[in-house]
């Protein structure tokens, strides 16, 4: 952009977004958004994807961000448009995803008067944003956009809301690209303290039973290569959180899979027995720790995170390190490379873990009702896509099976609402992911319940000709809630049976997508192949066994040792 | 233990809401909060007092730091700070009670800022303890209305 060109606020916003490298945004127009949409009409680089509901815009932008590591951008009109974004903003906040949400607002002079379609969106979103702006002057727009992108994507990433009154869009300014930041209170600590890194390296070197516990911070900081090196250097067994899936290849012999409520027996017992727990970029969430007091009872704890407030929030670590995980991991590698280390030190421990993996693999029984085992459907998706698809999920049982039975090998391959657990996330997130990664097969694994929460985005996928593959694990239930009722509430299935379902195959066809139904095992692979080959979106309705449960399971708030369904394969209670 | 936080924030709209909202969301209780412009017109200084026994002070300060508009936080040492608060109290002071009110005011170096036949309004500056002691003495005489600013505090010596 040539310096000091006279632009309208709306045009300046387009220019500023393009200056930040924003190639695509997801949104939905309305009265006060028209000036911006008018400017978009002439935009050269910025593409706008029209969703069918603003929640879809936020999740799509979030999915794009998670798949690419870039900032995702969504937009809405004032009032109901803005409030429709709220669930998506909260989802991004809880999973530390870099999102910029642009909401249009009523005219400045009408703010506070309960004007038509006025909602105080900066107020409403205050507890779920990293930061927010209510832009007062047209001249402030380029600077605000620049700051918003910077805040969203640095330190611990998160959503930023920019609320813009329509008169600010209509005003004029002498535009020039903003490159300066005026953020005296924002200086994320990137470099971990060398003393702490040395102390951590020493503890790692001396540990007899270490475990590496990896969270989303490994992925957001792009630390997978450094972490792999670290794990291999001292042969550290690795457990990942839900958000950490893909940060370490599950095909690696040191991988123990996921830990926590539906984690593997091996990962959970390793954490229970370890003498050193090395947490990189995870936050001791209650779905991971269960009963906090009984979590990792024998372990010294190293906790590294870019957000100082995470350290000591739930667990007081012996060695805290504030810093970017990539830098911290590289620092640890450097220190360890200079230290003597006898391989026998952890030999007994690694043997114990290998034996446990052997004895307690994830497993399930064939359903007795003749319906498909949901776990098998995921195994087939894994096989057909060669561990290489980007998997987006919704929330529920299918989500947990997707963590357990797909083999993840790289970061940004698994995209799921971990922190907020937002049903309806999967489909729009897969739209964003596919737009961000046109080179990849993108599969959305959804439940029959959650799919219907944002099903309207099929129209978006069709209109953008996105080759996403939507796999519905149709069990006729709000399965995860039913599972809790089954296990803890005497099988009183109150309001969890969803008897009246649409015909998902015909529903997909009505939207102009390919619709398929699979009821038999041998139909799975051909259906997947057809869906993947199809140029537009495809929906496969898999009829799975209604009462399958997700095991193992550590009941909420309990100790790892109270795990249900964690018996060795072929022994004990049924696990499906 | 009581903590007195001196928090330097950007002087921008909505910053007070962000701070108050953070306390509410994280379940931290504020004992008092006072805010005004600092030596730099672009910055305001807040004094926040909280009960450290009720909430982990470490978490409070770290979460506060995460607010983009918060520039600096100091947890002031009781010995290393000067603190005080301003209070107005309206006491009924009819008949012989009036002399007693005036005597108490004298002892506490409270200033009489308004008088009529029935009430006396006192203005007093001091530590929270001193103000509490004053109110305790006035109570039997009939305290009609109290308004106070909440503590403000500043570090001793050069340290800023
Ligand atoms: C928006 C929202 N509402 C409610 C819930 C609570 N919830 C969690 S899992 C679940 C059931 C999901 O059912 P379905 O989509 O069919 O998936 P399944 O568990 O059967 O695989 C519910 C209702 C939620 N996570 N999100
Ligand atoms: Mg279901």
Are B86 and B33 within one domain? no
**How far from the centroid of its chain's Cα atoms is residue A218's Cα?**
13
Are B9 and B66 within one domain? yes
Are B116 and B138 within one domain? yes
- Whether B21 and chain A come into contact, CB under 8 Å, resolves to yes
The answer to whether position B8 is within a domain reads yes
The answer to whether position B90 is within a domain reads yes
Protein residue with its CA nearest to atom 20 in ligand 1: A479
B47, B76, B105 - which closes a domain: B76
pLDDT tens digits, A518-548 = 999 999 999 999 999 999 999 999 999 999 9
Are B134 and B101 within one domain? yes
How far is the CA of A206 from the CAs of A234, A341, B149, in angstroms? 10, 8, 55
Q: SS3 for A378?
A: helix
- Whether B158 and chain A come into contact, CB under 8 Å, resolves to no
Cβ neighbors of B8 (< 8 A, separation 6 or more) are B38, B43, B44, B45, B46, B70, B71, B72, B73
pTM, to two decimals: 0.96
Are B66 and B91 within one domain? no
Query: Tell me, what DSSP letter sits at residue A210?
Result: E
Are B39 and B91 within one domain? no
The answer to whether position B101 is within a domain reads yes
Sign (positive/negative) of CA torsion A18, A19, A21, A22? negative
B53, B76, B99 - which closes a domain: B76
Mean residue pLDDT across chain A: 96
Protein residue with its CA nearest to atom 3 in ligand 1: A423
Query: Does the beta carbon of A469 sit less than 6 angstroms from any atom of ligand 1?
Result: no
Please tell me the distance between residue A541's alpha carbon and the centre of ligand 1 in angstroms: 17
The answer to whether position B147 is within a domain reads yes
Are B112 and B148 within one domain? yes
pLDDT of residue B160: 54
How far is the CA of B20 from the CAs of A401, B26, B27, B67, in angstroms? 41, 10, 11, 11
- Would you place residue B53 in the very low, low, confident or very high pLDDT band (cuts 50, 70, 90)? confident
Are B93 and B125 within one domain? yes
Query: Does the beta carbon of A171 sit less than 6 angstroms from any atom of ligand 1?
Result: no
Residue A168 has pLDDT above 70, yes or no: yes
Residue A307's closest chain B neighbor by CA? Answer: B66
Q: Which domains does chain A have, with CATH numbers?
A: 5-175 (3.40.50.970), 194-359 (3.40.50.1220), 374-543 (3.40.50.970)
The answer to whether position B70 is within a domain reads yes
Question: What phi and psi values does residue A563 have, to the nearest 5 degrees?
Answer: -60, 140
Please tell me the distance between residue A497's alpha carbon and the centre of ligand 1 in angstroms: 12
pLDDT tens digits, A225-252 = 999 999 999 999 999 999 999 999 999 9
Q: Once rounded to an integer, what is the mean pLDDT over residues A440-465?
A: 98
CATH of the domain at B54: 3.30.70.260
Mutate to test the pocket of ligand 1, among A444, A448, A449 (most ligand atoms within 8 A of CB): A449
Are B112 and B49 within one domain? no
Query: Does the beta carbon of A470 sit less than 6 angstroms from any atom of ligand 1?
Result: no
Residue A124 has pLDDT above 90, yes or no: yes
- Classify each residue of A468-507 as buried b or exposed e, where b means 16 or more C-beta atoms within 10 Å of its C-beta: bbbbbbbbbbbbbbbbebbeeeeeeeeebebeeeeebbeb
Domain ranges, residue B70: 2-76
**C-alpha to C-alpha distance for A98 and B25, rounded to whole angstroms:** 22
B57, B76, B95 - which closes a domain: B76
Q: SS3 for B6?
A: strand
Q: If you compute the radius of gyration of chain B from its CA atoms, what whole number of angstroms results?
A: 18
Are B71 and B106 within one domain? no
pLDDT of residue A570: 65
What is the number of domains present in chain B? 2
Residue A574 has pLDDT above 70, yes or no: no
Residue appearing with tokens 């898999």: A542
Protein residue with its CA nearest to atom 9 in ligand 1: A396
- Would you place residue B55 in the very low, low, confident or very high pLDDT band (cuts 50, 70, 90)? confident
Query: Does the beta carbon of A421 sit less than 6 angstroms from any atom of ligand 1?
Result: yes
Query: Does the beta carbon of A426 sit less than 6 angstroms from any atom of ligand 1?
Result: no
- B-interface mutation test, from A137, A155, A165, A185, most B Cβ less than 10 A away: A185
Residues of chain B with C-beta less than 8 angstroms from the C-beta of A183? 68
pLDDT of residue B51: 87
The answer to whether position B32 is within a domain reads yes
- Whether B13 and chain A come into contact, CB under 8 Å, resolves to yes
Are B95 and B109 within one domain? yes
Residue B49 has pLDDT above 80, yes or no: yes
**C-alpha to C-alpha distance for A540 and A474, rounded to whole angstroms:** 10
pLDDT tens digits, A128-164 = 999 999 999 999 999 999 999 999 999 999 999 999 9
Cβ neighbors of A412 (< 8 A, separation 6 or more) are A66, A67, A68, A69, A219, A246, A390
The answer to whether position B160 is within a domain reads no
Residues of chain B with C-beta less than 8 angstroms from the C-beta of A131? 68
Query: Does the beta carbon of A478 sit less than 6 angstroms from any atom of ligand 1?
Result: yes
- B-interface mutation test, from A188, A309, A312, most B Cβ less than 10 A away: A309
Do the chains contact at B65 and A184, CB–CB below 8 Å? no
Task: Enter the ipTM.
Answer: 0.91
- Would you place residue B1 in the very low, low, confident or very high pLDDT band (cuts 50, 70, 90)? confident
Residue appearing with tokens 């959970």: A268
Do the chains contact at B70 and A185, CB–CB below 8 Å? yes
Protein residue with its CA nearest to atom 11 in ligand 1: A478
Q: Once rounded to an integer, what is the mean pLDDT over residues A31-39?
A: 98
pLDDT of residue B52: 79
Query: Does the beta carbon of A471 sit less than 6 angstroms from any atom of ligand 1?
Result: no
Residues of A with CB under 8 A from a CB of B: 122-123, 126-127, 130-131, 134, 151, 183-186, 307-309, 312-313
Query: Does the beta carbon of A425 sit less than 6 angstroms from any atom of ligand 1?
Result: no
CATH of the domain at B94: 3.30.70.1150
- Would you place residue B135 in the very low, low, confident or very high pLDDT band (cuts 50, 70, 90)? very high
Q: Measured between CB atoms, which of A122, A123, A151 is closest to B68?
A: A151
Are B92 and B115 within one domain? yes
Q: How far is A261 from chain B (nearest CA, A)?
A: 25
pLDDT of residue B7: 97
The answer to whether position B159 is within a domain reads no
- Which residue in A504, A321, A369, A341 sits closest to A427, CA to CA? A504
């Amino acid at each position: 952009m040539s310096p000091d060109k006279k632009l309208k606020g709306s045009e300046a916003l387009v220019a500023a977004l393009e200056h930040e490298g924003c190639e695509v945004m997801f949104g939905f127009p309305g009265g006060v958004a028209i000036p911006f949409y008018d400017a978009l009409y002439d935009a050269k680089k910025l593409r706008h994807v029209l969703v069918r509901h603003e929640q879809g815009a936020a999740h799509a932008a979030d999915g794009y961000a998670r798949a690419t590591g870039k900032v995702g951008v969504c937009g809405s009109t004032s009032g109901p448009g803005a409030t429709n974004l709220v669930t998506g903003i909260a989802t991004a906040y809880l999973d530390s995803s870099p999102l910029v949400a642009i909401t249009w607002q009523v005219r400045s002079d009408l703010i506070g008067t309960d004007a038509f379609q006025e909602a105080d969106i900066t107020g409403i979103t205050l507890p779920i944003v990293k930061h927010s702006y209510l832009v007062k002057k047209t001249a402030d727009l380029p600077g605000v956009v620049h700051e918003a992108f910077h805040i969203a994507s640095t330190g611990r990433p998160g959503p930023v809301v920019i609320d813009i009154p329509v008169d600010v869009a209509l005003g004029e300014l002498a535009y020039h690209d903003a490159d300066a930041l005026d953020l005296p209170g924002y200086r994320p600590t990137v470099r971990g303290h060398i003393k702490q890194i040395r102390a951590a390296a020493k503890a790692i070197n001396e540990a007899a039973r270490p475990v590496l516990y990896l969270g989303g911070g490994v992925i957001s900081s792009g630390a997978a290569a450094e972490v792999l090196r670290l794990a291999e250097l001292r042969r550290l067994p690795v457990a990942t959180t839900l958000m950490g899936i893909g940060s370490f290849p599950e095909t690696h012999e040191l991988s123990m899979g996921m830990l926590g409520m539906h984690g593997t027996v091996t990962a959970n017992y390793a954490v229970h027995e370890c003498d050193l727990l090395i947490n990189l970029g995870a936050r001791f969430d209650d779905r991971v720790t269960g009963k906090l007091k009984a979590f990792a009872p024998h372990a010294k704890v190293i906790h590294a995170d870019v957000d100082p407030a995470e350290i000591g929030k739930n667990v007081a670590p012996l060695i805290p390190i504030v810093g970017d995980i990539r830098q911290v991991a590289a620092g640890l590698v450097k220190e360890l490379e200079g230290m003597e280390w006898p391989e026998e030190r952890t030999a007994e421990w690694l043997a114990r873990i290998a034996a446990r993996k052997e004895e307690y693999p994830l497993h399930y029984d064939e359903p007795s009702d003749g319906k498909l085992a949901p776990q098998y459907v995921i195994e087939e998706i894994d096989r057909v896509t060669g561990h290489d698809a980007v998997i987006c999920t919704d929330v529920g049982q299918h989500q947990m099976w997707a963590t357990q039975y797909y083999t993840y090998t790289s970061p940004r391959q698994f995209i799921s609402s971990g922190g907020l657990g937002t049903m309806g996330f999967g489909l729009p997130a897969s739209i964003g992911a596919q737009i961000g990664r046109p080179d990849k097969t993108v599969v959305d694994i959804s439940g029959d319940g959650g799919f219907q929460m944002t099903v309207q985005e099929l129209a978006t996928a069709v209109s953008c000709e996105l080759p996403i593959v939507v796999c519905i694990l149709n069990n006729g239930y709000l399965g995860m809630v039913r599972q809790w009722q089954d296990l803890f509430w005497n099988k009183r299935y109150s309001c969890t049976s969803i008897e009246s379902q649409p015909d998902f195959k015909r529903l997909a066809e009505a939207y102009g997508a390919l619709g398929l139904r699979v009821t038999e095992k041998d139909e799975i692979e051909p259906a997947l192949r057809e869906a993947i080959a199809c140029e537009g979106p495809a929906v496969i309705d898999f009829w799975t066994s209604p009462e399958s449960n997700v095991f193992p399971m550590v009941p909420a708030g309990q100790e790892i040792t109270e795990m249900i369904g964690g018996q060795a394969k072929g022994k004990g209670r049924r696990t499906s | 233990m009581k903590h007195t936080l001196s928090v330097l924030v950007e002087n921008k709209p909505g910053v007070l809401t962000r701070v108050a909202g953070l306390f509410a969301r994280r379940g931290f209780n504020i004992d008092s909060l006072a805010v005004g412009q600092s030596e730099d017109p672009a910055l305001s200084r807040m004094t926040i007092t909280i009960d450290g026994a009720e909430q982990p002070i470490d978490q409070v300060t770290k979460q506060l730091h995460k607010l983009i508009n918060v520039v600096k936080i100091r947890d002031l040492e009781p010995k290393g700070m000067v603190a005080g608060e301003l209070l107005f109290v309206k006491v009924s002071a009819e008949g012989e009670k009036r002399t007693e009110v005036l005597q108490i005011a004298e002892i506490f170096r409270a200033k009489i800022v308004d008088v009529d036949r029935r009430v006396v309004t006192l203005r007093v500056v001091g530590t929270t303890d001193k103000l509490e002691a004053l109110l305790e003495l006035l109570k039997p005489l009939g305290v009609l209305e109290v308004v106070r600013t909440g503590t403000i505090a500043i570090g001793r010596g050069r340290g800023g």
